[in-house]
Chain A
């Protein structure tokens, strides 16, 4: 046995079946009804089995394996369920790697199934053979190669359990072709526990007490929260905590939507292009309360000058995050829903009026120097900010925002108004261009009742543009907004600010995006005039199916505020 585990009794009597059939039966036992993938030689037996189960398990054929995995990520992020991906061996498997790495760093639960050459061919450089286990090892939470059909049910039950438990992450199961064909006696037993694996550390109530003492003694407390609040389904508890003690709360990029954007205690986004007040006041707070976040370098800026004056409390489910980047004075390990429930009764009611006022003052400065011009410019090209503002007005903050990577991502994250959780899907840690379009497809299929809006730059759009084909075929009503500045805008911004305006390979000559969309049967419109914006956004939202709206925005626009690389967060620049 490769992993000692506790399993539930078999869901059904044993039955004689093939390995490929067992994969599908395992999916059904795990309540999987939607998967994403791309067929090929070494995974064909599973695809053949899929044909038999298509009523129970819907398969979405993307146009590239990278599209399949990003779609599964979008699905997982919007539903909170495990995303499932199928791909063949060799290039099919290697094309998943970017998405696997993205899911690993952003804690997204995925089970990836790859076909592998027959076990007798392993190590022979056979056609489409690659050692995907070794390649995916540093980017997976767990991976395993199955060479015998009888290993499949246990490998898959462990895969789903590991992917979704504790800090979620991607798991890869590589199945040799002979194991897919092999007949065996199938019985599925869900995994409940693995001997060597502690997904959720036991909560230490002494630590919770110490955290409460620090919070109660704080004159200038600041809460910084991340995706852990969403992954832990702790939005309600989180809100109770901050409301009870009137704690100002700032989000990371992935924490967005855990707390409604218009909540009076929401003081904005942290980080390089975050809001002015929380960045500046990070270096003035006396107690920093980090909840489900990992102090990414884009959040902390120069670590040696990050919140040095503050006592730090760190709530996390992953022990390896404690003291990784920022030393914690009190570390509370555990599931944050449970930790916060224990903490709330111990925290005193406070008003922190003067301290909250400091955020208001700095917010006013940012409003005046940056936000007004971003959202309501009166001359020049359309700004990215006013497009997002228009979307906010017309969706009333109820849409799921899916973004790619770059300037548009920062602007959309800064200005989108979120009302409900799991509404922000973006590639945070890895910064994967090309993430957005397929992730938006997966999000729409996972939450068909919700408006899903993909906001993409012209660069990232062209990295996975072929997924228009998958959107066309599935008829998923994804609304696509391309913020086209004919540049790789974020790189261009850095070239302007830090590389002496040497615009090396960042200008793009772009195709007619609307014509391309129309080629895929997707309606579209392109605008470049301010007065056309409200009607164009309205048309996009009213349209029944998918719609592509291309907005030509200012070529040389930059995103501010900005914490330059190597600077302290309190040195954030407004211009």
Chain B
């Protein structure tokens, strides 16, 4: 059965490694739902977080193929329930369309969102959460006219303690 898996890949920071990693997925005709790369807790070691929908049999093979790469130290996979994860979304909306009544206050309170910037003709709202939550706010704002919307790749940390030690 296909489901979302979060791949965490710990690697050297080298030119082209992203290409090597994505080609392992594309070769198997897998679409990347989201991707993020950043430094990890260990100095000089980078962490890719990739969300991909596939089967467990496939994802087990994927991590071995990823670990096979010379510059990859460790690759692991987790289901959503094994990780704490977040995505960040930014919404640009017309100030005029939303400034009537207490609409802004309501949406900030209800969504645990915050306003990053207010200009004379638009404002930028930020919300972090799971995809369904940022999507819910997008759906809510859509009738008022969303000028721009962007959502980041997932970042996640694993729940079991000490699982990634020794990388």
Mask: chain B, 46-65; 1 = CB below 8 Å from A; 0 = not: 00000000000000110011
Instruction: Choose from B12, B16, B20, B65 the contact partner of A3 (Cβ within 8 Å).
Output: B12
How distant is A326 from chain B, measured CB to nearest CB, in Å? 13
Which of A134, A145, A320 has most chain B Cβ within 10 Å? A320
Chain B residues within an 8 Å CB radius of A134: 16, 19
Please provide the chain A residues from 1 to 59 with a CB less than 8 Å away from any CB of chain B in the complex.
Answer: 2-4
A138 touching B27 by the CB < 8 A rule?
yes
Which of B11, B24, B71 has most chain A Cβ within 10 Å? B71
Please report the total number of A residues contacting B with Cβ < 8 Å.
22
Residue B96 interfacial (CB < 8 Å): no
Complex Cα gap A143–B72 (Å): 14
A320 touching B68 by the CB < 8 A rule?
yes
Q: Determine chain B's interface SS by DSSP, over half rule.
A: mixed
A3 touching B27 by the CB < 8 A rule?
no
Residue A344 interfacial (CB < 8 Å): no
Instruction: Choose from A2, A137, A196 the contact partner of B72 (Cβ within 8 Å).
Output: A196
Residue B108 interfacial (CB < 8 Å): no
How distant is B63 from chain A, measured CB to nearest CB, in Å? 9
A320 touching B12 by the CB < 8 A rule?
no
Chain B residues within an 8 Å CB radius of A4: 12, 44
Complex Cα gap A141–B70 (Å): 7
Residue B73 interfacial (CB < 8 Å): yes
Chain A residues within an 8 Å CB radius of B12: 2-4, 195-196
Mask: chain A, 293-327; 1 = CB below 8 Å from B; 0 = not: 00000000000000000000000001110111000
Mask: chain A, 168-192; 1 = CB below 8 Å from B; 0 = not: 0000000000000000000000000
Instruction: Choose from A3, A318, A323, A324 the contact partner of B14 (Cβ within 8 Å).
Output: A3
Chain A residues within an 8 Å CB radius of B13: 2
Chain B residues within an 8 Å CB radius of A196: 11-12, 70-73
Chain B residues within an 8 Å CB radius of A195: 12, 73
Chain A residues within an 8 Å CB radius of B16: 133-134, 137, 143, 145
Residue B67 interfacial (CB < 8 Å): yes
Chain B residues within an 8 Å CB radius of A162: 70
A319-B68, A320-B67, A320-B68 known; A145+B15 contact, CB < 8 A: yes
Residue A498 interfacial (CB < 8 Å): no
Instruction: Choose from B27, B61, B70 the contact partner of A320 (Cβ within 8 Å).
Output: B61
How distant is B74 from chain A, measured CB to nearest CB, in Å? 9
B70 touching A2 by the CB < 8 A rule?
no
Complex Cα gap A324–B11 (Å): 23
Q: Output the nearest chain B residue to A3 by Cβ-Cβ distance.
A: B12
Residue B112 interfacial (CB < 8 Å): no
Q: Output the nearest chain A residue to B26 by Cβ-Cβ distance.
A: A138
Chain A residues within an 8 Å CB radius of B31: none
Residue A142 interfacial (CB < 8 Å): yes
Residue B38 interfacial (CB < 8 Å): no
Chain B residues within an 8 Å CB radius of A145: 15-16
Residue B23 interfacial (CB < 8 Å): yes
Chain A residues within an 8 Å CB radius of B60: 323
How distant is B37 from chain A, measured CB to nearest CB, in Å? 15
Instruction: Choose from A142, A143, A320 the contact partner of B65 (Cβ within 8 Å).
Output: A320
How distant is B114 from chain A, measured CB to nearest CB, in Å? 39
Chain B residues within an 8 Å CB radius of A133: 16
Residue A197 interfacial (CB < 8 Å): yes
Please provide the chain B residues from 16 to 48 with a CB less than 8 Å away from any CB of chain A in the complex.
Answer: 16, 19-20, 23-24, 27, 44
Known: A133-B16, A137-B16, A320-B61. 18 other contacts (CB 8 A): A2-B14, A2-B15, A3-B70, A4-B12, A4-B44, A134-B19, A137-B20, A138-B20, A142-B70, A145-B15, A195-B12, A196-B70, A196-B72, A319-B64, A319-B67, A320-B65, A322-B64, A324-B61
26 A-B residue contacts at CB 8 Å?
A2-B13, A3-B14, A3-B70, A3-B71, A4-B12, A4-B44, A134-B16, A137-B16, A137-B19, A137-B20, A138-B24, A138-B27, A142-B70, A143-B16, A162-B70, A196-B71, A196-B72, A196-B73, A197-B70, A318-B68, A319-B64, A319-B68, A320-B61, A320-B67, A322-B64, A324-B61
